Copies of this chain bind each other. A is one copy, B any other.
Amino acid sequence: MSDGRHLILDLYDCEPASLDDYDKLEEWLEAALLMANATILRIIGEKFQPQGVTLLALLAESHASIHTWPEIGYAAIDLYTCGDTTNTQKAADFLIYKLKAGKVEQKDLQRLTSLPPDES
């Protein structure tokens, strides 16, 4: 069986300047996903006013997202990958490191994505 893994990260006490830097966040998200061996099909995003960034990555293995609130040093990150070929935790660790998160809350959800054994 090959299940989906969905990491839900709430990062607190991050560096505010980084959380408002669209280009840097996109570069880090891309690097994190490549490190995790994910296949990026497209990344889109939005820089909000007066602050905050959203990035969404469409992956062959599902998706990843980052939403930031620089004013409170907070980032909400989702890393959802399916299959046996990705190492989602690697992407999480890289983003936690880059954002210099002071406090991390991580949930790790298993989501069904498998064919039943007799159909695979």
Contact = CB atoms under 8 A, between A and B. Distances in A.
Interface of A: 4, 6, 8, 10, 12, 41-42, 44-46, 48, 54, 56, 58, 60, 62-63, 65, 67, 69, 71-72, 74, 76, 78, 80, 82, 107, 109, 111-116, 119
19 contacts: A8-B109, A10-B112, A12-B112, A42-B44, A44-B56, A46-B58, A54-B63, A56-B58, A56-B63, A62-B67, A63-B65, A65-B65, A67-B80, A67-B82, A69-B115, A72-B114, A76-B111, A78-B78, A107-B109
B111 A10 contact: yes
Given A48-B60, A56-B56, A76-B111, 10 more contacts: A10-B112, A12-B112, A41-B46, A42-B44, A44-B58, A62-B65, A63-B67, A72-B114, A78-B78, A107-B109
A39 to B, nearest CB: 11
A119 B8 CA distance: 26
Top 7 A-B residue pairs of the complex, sorted by shortest distance between their CB atoms = A56-B56, A76-B111, A63-B65, A62-B67, A56-B58, A72-B115, A56-B63
